[in-house]
Amino acid sequence: MSSAEPTEQTGPAVRSHPQHPQHAERPSRPAPMPGLAESARLLADSATTSTALVADALARIEAAQPTLNAFRHLRAEAALAEAAEADRRLAAGERLPLLGVPVAVKDDTDVAGLPTHFGCDGERPPVTADSEAVRRLRAAGAVIVGKTNSCELGQWPFTEGPAFGATRNPWNTAHTPGGSSGGSAAAVAAGLVPAALGSDGAGSVRIPAAWTHLVGIKPQRGRVSVHPHHDAFQGLTVNGPLARTVADAALLLDAAAGAHPDDFHRPPAVRASDAARRDPGRLRIALAWRPPLTLTGAGPDPEVRRAVAALAETLARLGHHVEEARPRYGLIGLTFVPRATAGIAEFAARHPEPALLDPRTRSALRTGTRLGGRVVRAARAREVRQHRRIGALFDASGYDVLLTPTTAAPPPRIGTFDRLSAWRTDVTMAAACPYAWPWNVLGWPGINVPAGFTRSGLPVGAQLLGPSRSEERLIALAAQLEDDLRWYEHRPPIS
pLDDT in tens, 169-210: 999 999 999 999 999 999 999 999 999 999 999 999 999 999
Q: Mean pLDDT over all residues of the chain?
A: 94
Q: Do residues 112 and 127 touch, judged by C-beta distance below 8 A?
A: yes
Q: For residue 495, what pLDDT is reported?
A: 85
36-53 per-position pLDDT tens digit: 999 999 999 999 999 999
Q: Are strands 102-106 and 195-200 parallel, antiparallel or unpaired?
A: parallel
Q: For residue 494, what pLDDT is reported?
A: 87
Q: Which of 106, 184, 363, 470 is catalytic?
A: 106
- Residue 180 falls in the annotated catalytic set: yes
Nearest Cα neighbor of 295 from 434, 191, 202 is 434
Q: For residue 368, what pLDDT is reported?
A: 97
Report CA-CA distances (Å) from 471 to 221, 247, 316.
Answer: 11, 13, 21
224-279 per-position pLDDT tens digit: 999 999 899 999 999 999 999 999 999 999 999 999 999 999 999 999 999 999 99
Could you tell me where the beta strands, DSSP code E, fall in 219-355?
Answer: 238-243, 284-287, 321-324
Range 159-162 contact pairs with CB under 8 angstroms and sequence separation of 24 or more: 159/119, 159/183, 159/186, 159/208, 160/414, 160/415, 160/417, 160/418, 161/119, 161/120, 161/121, 161/358, 162/121, 162/358
Q: Which of 16, 184, 199, 204 is catalytic?
A: 204
Q: For residue 1, what pLDDT is reported?
A: 53
DSSP 3-state of 165: strand
DSSP 3-state of 252: helix
Q: Do residues 59 and 31 touch, judged by C-beta distance below 8 A?
A: no
Nearest Cα neighbor of 192 from 30, 77, 10 is 30
- Residue 218 falls in the annotated catalytic set: no
Measured distance CA(93)–CA(91) in Å, rounded = 5
Q: Do residues 62 and 7 touch, judged by C-beta distance below 8 A?
A: yes
pLDDT tens-place values along the chain, 495 residues long: 544 333 333 332 332 333 333 333 444 567 889 999 999 999 999 999 999 999 999 999 999 999 999 999 999 999 999 999 999 999 999 999 999 999 999 999 999 999 999 999 999 999 999 999 999 999 999 999 999 999 999 999 999 999 999 999 999 999 999 999 999 999 999 999 999 999 999 999 999 999 999 999 999 999 999 999 989 999 999 999 999 999 999 999 999 999 999 999 999 999 999 999 999 999 999 999 999 988 887 789 999 999 999 999 999 999 999 999 999 999 999 999 999 999 999 999 999 999 999 999 999 999 999 999 999 999 999 999 999 999 999 999 999 999 999 999 999 999 999 999 999 999 999 999 999 999 999 999 999 999 999 999 999 999 999 999 999 999 999 999 999 999 999 999 988
Measured distance CA(135)–CA(430) in Å, rounded = 35
Q: For residue 296, what pLDDT is reported?
A: 80
Q: Which of 50, 180, 363, 470 is catalytic?
A: 180
Residues 6+ apart with CB under 8 A from 474: 401, 445, 446, 447, 464, 465, 466
State the greatest distance between any 2 C-alpha atoms of the chain, in Å, as a whole number. 61
Q: For residue 298, what pLDDT is reported?
A: 76
Residue 103 has φ and ψ, to the nearest 5°, of: -140, 165
Q: Do residues 277 and 428 touch, judged by C-beta distance below 8 A?
A: no
Nearest Cα neighbor of 394 from 468, 316, 317 is 468
Could you tell me where the beta strands, DSSP code E, fall in 369-490?
Answer: 401-405, 446-453, 459-465
Measured distance CA(489)–CA(62) in Å, rounded = 24
What DSSP designation does 104 have? E
Strand order in the sheet with 71-74: 71-74, 143-148, 102-106, 195-200, 238-243, 215-218, 446-453, 459-465, 401-405, 284-287, 321-324
pTM over 0.85: yes
- Residue 2 falls in the annotated catalytic set: no
What DSSP designation does 329 have? -
